[in-house]
Structure 1
Amino acid sequence: MSLAPRAVLVHRTTEYEELLARHGTHGQAAFFLSSRGRSIEDVRRRHERNLRGLADVAAAVPLSWRHARVERADLDRFLFGPEDVVVVVGQDGLVANAAKYLSGQPVVGVDTDPGRNPGVLVRHRAADAGALLRAAVTPAAGADELTMVEAVTDDAQRLLALNEIYLGPPSHQTARYTLAVEGVETPPEPQASSGVLVGTGTGATGWLRSLWHERSSDLTLPGPTARRLAWFVREAWPSPTTGTTRVEGALTPGTSLRLTVESDRMVAFGDGMESDTLDLTWGQTIRVGVAATTLRLVG
């Protein structure tokens, strides 16, 4: 007998909750914010809107379904099942935080604070959650298959991201490595830079676009569902032993970016989550390309 679907509500601790955890009481938190020219009432109202949104989504879960909640900090310890429907309640970035832990489950993004979020990934309102949950488990469910980026090291460590993966120094020092594009007939190039960014069409609205815009690149950025990535080298340094001829490009399935580390330490992390970092040492190789996994974003 198959299991009933499970609605998994993903949320994050609000700024108001973080303030109370740090300062102990509402009054002390209010004093702290007022000393910095801010009002706690705005923070509290956003907190209450988030709570109402969570409550409305929870109430919309069909009675025959199972349900669970997971806070962002606990995502790496939560076991998602194939029968889950994941409801991300909050900001666009929270969808990216959850995406790396999923393997094809449908995702519904619910915006509890319209107007403050771009709403690129949290596209829906809490009032629509019931209909979206039921639609998500039907064979004809409409979902965008958003491309993801994957990095794999030569010792089989794996990193998955929805927006982008950064490879570079853990500080403001220069990273040294040899860069090659596998699947393309170009020779490897030793480089020294402040890092490499490889991003998806979803990430092309953020950090990736800033690099693209800064250098007035002619490269066409991918769309969210395009099976294509864009990559940029940041601040490549020309020297007698390092080059700057390959500083941007595109990757499609069958091609990948290969970096061989020539520094004492480099790191790789995805979607700005430095707490989930791969450490890379001298001589280690990492390959970055289009992930086989996609994010199924409903509606």
Structure 2
Amino acid sequence: MSLAPRAVIVHRRTEYEELLARHGTHGQAAFFLSSRGRSIDEVARRHDRTRQALRDVAAAVPLTWRNSRVERADLDRFLFAPEDVVVVVGQDGLVANTAKYLHGQPVVGIDTDPGRNPGILVRHRCTDAAALLRAAATAGGRTDALTMVEAVADDAQRLLALNEIYLGPPGHQTARYRLGPDGERGQGEAQASSGVLVGTGTGATGWLRSLWLERGSTTALPAPCEERLLWFVREAWPSPATGTTRVTGELGRGEGLRLTVESDRIVVFGDGMESDALDLTWGQSVRLGIAQTSLHLVT
């Protein structure tokens, strides 16, 4: 007998909750903001909308299903099961934060603040939750398979991301490394920079697009479901020992970019989740490419 689906509702602390955690009471938080010419009222209203959205989504879960709830800060400790239907209630970025921990489970994005969020990944409203949950649990349910990027280190550590993976120094120092196509003879070009960014078509609406515009790149940005990545080196420094000939490129399915560390430490993290990163040291290498896993976003 197969298990009933489990709805896993993913959320994050609201700005109001973060203010209360810092200042203790509503009154203290209100005074802190008012002394800086701001009001707590809109923050509290957004908190109320989010709480109501979570209640509405929880009420939409079929009675025969199991259910669970996980906060963003606990995602790296939560065990998702194959039969889960994941419901992300919040902003677009929360879907990206969740994606790296999934292995093909369908994801429903619920926008808690329409008009404030772009709604690229949280495409639906609370009123649609019941129908979306049924559709997600139905064989052949309609989803978009969004391309993801992965980093695989030479010690088998692996990192997934939906938007982008960043490789660079942990602080404001310069990262030193060698960069080149995976499988190329030699170790690639020696470089010194503030890091390397490898992004997907979903990430083309954020950090990747910013670098693309800054460079005036003529390469078309990938679409979210397209099996193509773009990569950029940030602020590469030319010197007698370091070059700048390999500062941008694209990767298709089966192609890889390899970075070999030549400084004390380089961190590798995805979608802004610095707390869950790979830590590489002198001599280690990492391969960047299209992941076998996709994010299955319910449409």
TM bracket, shorter-chain basis: over 0.9
- Superposed, 1:17-166 pairs within 5 Å as 17-166=17-166
Asked if 2 retains the 8 angstrom alpha-carbon contact of 1:183 and 1:255, the reply is no
Distance across 1 between alignment mates of 2:165 and 2:250: 14
Q: Which runs of 4+ in 1 moved over 4 A?
A: 183-187
Q: Number of aligned residue pairs: give it.
A: 299
Q: Deviations over 1:216-256 (max 9, x none)?
A: 01122111001111000111111112111111011112111
Distance 1:89 1:282, change over 3 A: same
Q: Deviations over 1:45-72 (max 9, x none)?
A: 0000001100000000111111110011
Share of identical aligned residues, percent?
77
- How far off its partner does 1:140 sit? 2.5
Distance across 1 between alignment mates of 2:214 and 2:136: 40
TM-score (structure 1 length as normaliser): 0.98
Distance across 2 between alignment mates of 1:185 and 1:134: 52
Distance across 2 between alignment mates of 1:266 and 1:133: 41
Distance across 1 between alignment mates of 2:279 and 2:184: 27
Q: Secondary structure at the match of 1:144?
A: strand
Letter of the aligned partner of 1:239 in structure 2? S
Q: Secondary structure at the match of 2:139?
A: coil
Distance across 2 between alignment mates of 1:187 and 1:51: 52
Q: Deviations over 1:194-228 (max 9, x none)?
A: 11000000001100010110010112211100111
- Superposed, 1:243-282 pairs within 5 Å as 243-282=243-282
Letter of the aligned partner of 2:132 in structure 1? L
Structure 1: gaps of 5 or more residues: none
Matched with 1:222 is 222
Distance across 1 between alignment mates of 2:142 and 2:264: 47
Distance across 2 between alignment mates of 1:280 and 1:83: 34
Letter of the aligned partner of 2:291 in structure 1? A
Q: Secondary structure at the match of 1:98?
A: helix
Structure 2: gaps of 5 or more residues: none
Matched with 1:10 is 10
Letter of the aligned partner of 2:45 in structure 1? R
Moved more, 136-145 or 47-56: 136-145
Matched with 1:284 is 284
- How far off its partner does 1:180 sit? 1.0
Distance across 2 between alignment mates of 1:106 and 1:252: 25
